[in-house]
Structure 1
Amino acid sequence: MSYSFLTLTPAEKQERRRQLNLSGTIAWFSPIVILLTVYIHRKLLRPLLSQTFPSNFLVQWRRVCWVLGTKTSFSPEFGPLGLQLFGGAYFAWLVVLIFRATGQDYMHLAKAFGHVAVSQLPLSYLLGMKSVWSPVSLATGLSHERLNSWHRLFGRMVHMLAVVHVGMYLNFFVQNGVLGKRIKDWDVLWGILAFGAFSLLWVLSLPFVRARWYHFVFYRSHVVLSAVVVVALWWHVPYTRVYVGLAGLVWAAGAVVRTWGSSTLVKARCETVEGTELVNVVLEVPRESAFANGGPGQHLYIHADGFGPRTPFTIASVGGEEKGPVTVRLVVRNVGGPQTQWISHMAKSREVREVRIEGPYGGYGLSLPDMVRRKEQGPVLMVAGGVGATYIIPIYIALVKQRRSTAGKDEMVRMVWLVRRFADAAWGIEMLKAVGDDLEHCGVDVYVTRGSVGFDVEMEEQRSPELTKHGVGVHKLGRRPDLEPMIEGFFAVSRREGGGMPDSGLRLHNPIEARKRQMAMEEATVFVCGPGSLAGDVRDVVGRQVIEEGRQVRWVEEVFGFGGT
């Protein structure tokens, strides 16, 4: 089919506008249908389907879901393979809507690319909204951190459509000899501004830019340029203002929620952890704030003032007396960034100062409460690397407390923690000891991957009966342990008769003995938080359990760094 510049009658132009509006409406409504379908499936259909389909089918389905949910294709920037395939299918659907009813009208096609692109802006802005009340989060059960990959992918899709729209219009202006005249008209100038801002957003959101200049380039430009896009498109043409207005409302709602709804001014005290690069950050927050009810695995943003850099830090613990302020504790490693250096300076100066915190954010408000409340959840394995334990330990404590007080007390909850030096783990071990008898025989193995001065003395001090009764084993290896036999042993012993945990020397190390005691297998949950290489190694071993043995595994991965998934 060839497209050409057609001369249309007023009636034909009106029909073209009607078709453009229809394509835009369908494109705008499509995500709503998808989100409603996902929500209904999560809440109603998933439990029924697991009881309806034969076990062989479910095993094959688990394997497919594992590959789609954990594997990546050409770029981890856009999440797992399943997301990328879905994004490709959705993009194809948008292209179908663009080409529908265009006939041979070149301008109809050019307008359709722009119209459909703008219709997706509300979805793109919603995917970037950082709030547990985001409609997308409520429908999918995914936190903002999980939706970041979706936001990046859909942003690229909208930009691609906009590129074609602009290119086709420039070609039309050149072919008809009106480029010099039209480039001075206000509707075209507003369009150029919108496209320029959107293209700059694309450039500044590239992975290397986010990683190197997150605070001063990516974050600030994202806030400003996304607003510029809305204003410029509003004045560009009147036909898409309903979509532009919705995107503007989402932008404003996100700004209000983050600035006033979830932001609190608190006092902060920082202390250096001796012999490490870690800093203890203690925040005193009002009891009526959302932080007082913060849950395991959540994080907050901390900054000096409204214009300072904002960095996410995982909440290690929440506590305090029955009256007065609540104490929120963070454990921060100085990685040389502007925020961690500022916190390290506060620790050295021992000053107590007011800071602004924002949150709490994270997946706890969406899925973990249900997991903690359930009496029968199945075995859980948790693997942490370094300060990744700030995410893992609170969830671990909550799960073990729940199981010690319910019928699920015999189910396994295991934790493996890799640290460079023993001193790096001291803060976490104190948290486990401070909880009390609820964590007796809790099943934690700490592996020290590097030696340190005075290590043997520290080790002997920690091999006390008080530490042993809490089920915490400390192992000096001087290298990363072999994770494969540990994980295989965990899956082999999904449940044990009589409750309790095995001796720490056999806790995760003997898969042959473990397989002799294997009982009925059920859904296992694996939490991982640490460097990408550690998560990749764990994912590979767990994946073999799913692919080769058909195990049902719920995979929860928390990734470090800016722009992570």
Structure 2
Amino acid sequence: MESFWPWHFVSVPEEEKLLRRDLLDLRGSFAQWSIMLGILILRVAYQGLNPASQIGYRTQSCRGLVSWWDRPLVAGWLETRRQYAVCGLWLTWLLSLCVWSSGEDYLHLTKALGHVGLSQIPLQVLMSPAAYISTARPSAASILSFLTSIPQSTLTPYHRLFGRVVISPLLLGHATLYLLFFAQSSHPEFGTLLAKRVRDSDVQCGLSALFAAVALLFFIRPRGGSMQKGRGSAGSMQERRQAFYIGHVSLVGMLCVAAYFHVAQAQKYMIQSFGAFVLNGVGSWVMVHWGR
């Protein structure tokens, strides 16, 4: 176990804690600046595809000649192997940021997982299909779609997977390691530190954020592929989409509010996420009403 798990509970002097705090902020900055670099690369790569290549790909898709990468990972799933691979590579990059310069400090690694995970929520919001419940243009472009020139229909599966494959594992890892630390640490009055800390408001907010993250994993959007055509079924589908959107956004809001009050270092990311939500909503509204 010692060779498999190199991180341990260590005592850190006060001056070292400040340096580690700066290192956590640096990780968050790297994680967010890498998003900017990724957006730039995506825009250049997508615009570099000549129209003939895009038409040829769509023609092959219509004929059923889809590559192995562009087929679902499991029959019946919505996302493809390519989409899982991209999100898996991004998770690997973020995990490497968490491990970088963590040494043997268990708590530093634990904090890094949460810090880096929360730094990705603004990106998740920016590529969300804000016009999902619109009857006029439900697939109107998000801000990230507009910035990268990638159609929203292509980005939406990444939006779904990003939450499940990237953000949730980081936040769940953060919470699990902290709870294990609390459970293994003694307290003179409560027996374990866990029994003491669950009474504190910051931990209760963290657990609320964890509940919202887990609930989002199981809150699946409705699928209309098997719906029969007709006014009644269309109205029913619209109602289901609206209910899903309201529930989904409410859970995300709960996660962000709980994270905001969980720890001060999360507040800037949650403010960014709120700004991204407003910007994305206004942008989609403009595109629905005045966009081509």
TMscore range, shorter length:
0.7 to 0.9
C-alpha distance in 2 between matches for 1:68 and 1:30:
28
**Pair 1:242 & 2:268 matched:** yes
Q: Quickly say closer, same or farther: Cα 1:261–1:100, change in 2 above 3 A.
A: same
Q: Quickly say closer, same or farther: Cα 1:126–1:68, change in 2 above 3 A.
A: farther
C-alpha distance in 1 between matches for 2:75 and 2:128:
20
Among 238, 242, 246, the alignment partner of 1:220 is 246
State the match for 2:113 in structure 1. Answer: 113
State the match for 1:33 in structure 2. Answer: 37
Look up the equivalent residue of 2:170 and give its one-letter code.
L
C-alpha distance in 2 between matches for 1:92 and 1:155:
15
Deviation at 1:240, TM superposition (A): 2.4
- Answer whether contact 2:142 2:283 (CA < 8 A) is retained: no
**Pair 1:166 & 2:175 matched:** yes
Among 201, 204, 212, the alignment partner of 1:186 is 201
State the match for 2:73 in structure 1. Answer: 73
State the match for 1:396 in structure 2. Answer: none
Of the two structures, which has the highest relative contact order with CA contacts closer than 8 Å and spacing of 6 or more? 2
State the match for 1:204 in structure 2. Answer: 219
Look up the equivalent residue of 2:198 and give its one-letter code.
I
C-alpha distance in 1 between matches for 2:147 and 2:42:
7
Deviation at 1:133, TM superposition (A): 5.7
Deviations 1:474-510 (A, max 9, x none): xxxxxxxxxxxxxxxxxxxxxxxxxxxxxxxxxxxxx
Deviations 1:53-74 (A, max 9, x none): xxxxxxxxx9xx9526632223
C-alpha distance in 2 between matches for 1:232 and 1:3:
28
State the match for 1:343 in structure 2. Answer: none
Q: Quickly say closer, same or farther: Cα 1:148–1:41, change in 2 above 3 A.
A: closer
Deviation at 1:75, TM superposition (A): 6.0
State the match for 1:101 in structure 2. Answer: 101
Deviations 1:115-138 (A, max 9, x none): 111011011111214365633212
C-alpha distance in 1 between matches for 2:76 and 2:146:
25
**Pair 1:136 & 2:144 matched:** yes
C-alpha distance in 2 between matches for 1:69 and 1:181:
49
Q: Quickly say closer, same or farther: Cα 1:135–1:155, change in 2 above 3 A.
A: same
Q: Quickly say closer, same or farther: Cα 1:215–1:79, change in 2 above 3 A.
A: closer
Deviation at 1:143, TM superposition (A): 2.7
Aligned-residue sequence identity (percent) comes to: 29
Deviation at 1:214, TM superposition (A): 3.4
Look up the equivalent residue of 2:94 and give its one-letter code.
L
Larger radius of gyration: 1
Q: Secondary structure at the match of 2:8?
A: coil
Paired residues for 1:118-517 under 5 Å: 118-130=118-130, 132=140, 134-156=142-164, 157-176=166-185, 177-205=192-220, 214-215=240-241, 217-256=243-282, 261=286, 290=290, 365=292
Q: Quickly say closer, same or farther: Cα 1:206–1:109, change in 2 above 3 A.
A: farther
TM-score by length of 1: 0.41
Where does the alignment leave 5 or more consecutive residues of structure 1 unmatched?
51-61, 264-288, 291-359, 366-565
Q: Which structure shows the bigger proportion of residues in strand conformation?
A: 1
Q: Secondary structure at the match of 1:239?
A: helix
- Answer whether contact 1:78 1:150 (CA < 8 A) is retained: no
Where does the alignment leave 5 or more consecutive residues of structure 2 unmatched?
54-59, 132-139, 186-191, 227-236
C-alpha distance in 2 between matches for 1:30 and 1:76:
33
- Answer whether contact 2:24 2:115 (CA < 8 A) is retained: yes
Deviation at 1:14, TM superposition (A): 1.2
C-alpha distance in 2 between matches for 1:87 and 1:75:
19
Q: Quickly say closer, same or farther: Cα 1:77–1:142, change in 2 above 3 A.
A: farther
C-alpha distance in 1 between matches for 2:73 and 2:38:
24
C-alpha distance in 2 between matches for 1:35 and 1:76:
30
State the match for 2:25 in structure 1. Answer: 21
Q: Which structure shows the bigger proportion of residues in helix conformation?
A: 2
Q: Secondary structure at the match of 2:67?
A: helix
- Answer whether contact 2:129 2:141 (CA < 8 A) is retained: no
Deviation at 1:13, TM superposition (A): 0.8
Greater than 6 Å deviation, 4+ residue runs: 210-213
Look up the equivalent residue of 2:112 and give its one-letter code.
A
Give the length in aligned residue pairs: 250
C-alpha distance in 2 between matches for 1:83 and 1:227:
26
C-alpha distance in 2 between matches for 1:139 and 1:256:
15
- Answer whether contact 1:68 1:83 (CA < 8 A) is retained: no
Q: Quickly say closer, same or farther: Cα 1:78–1:239, change in 2 above 3 A.
A: farther
- Answer whether contact 1:23 1:116 (CA < 8 A) is retained: yes
C-alpha distance in 2 between matches for 1:224 and 1:33:
30
- Answer whether contact 1:125 1:251 (CA < 8 A) is retained: yes
Deviations 1:122-170 (A, max 9, x none): 1111121436563321243333232221011100121111111111111
TM-score by length of 2: 0.75
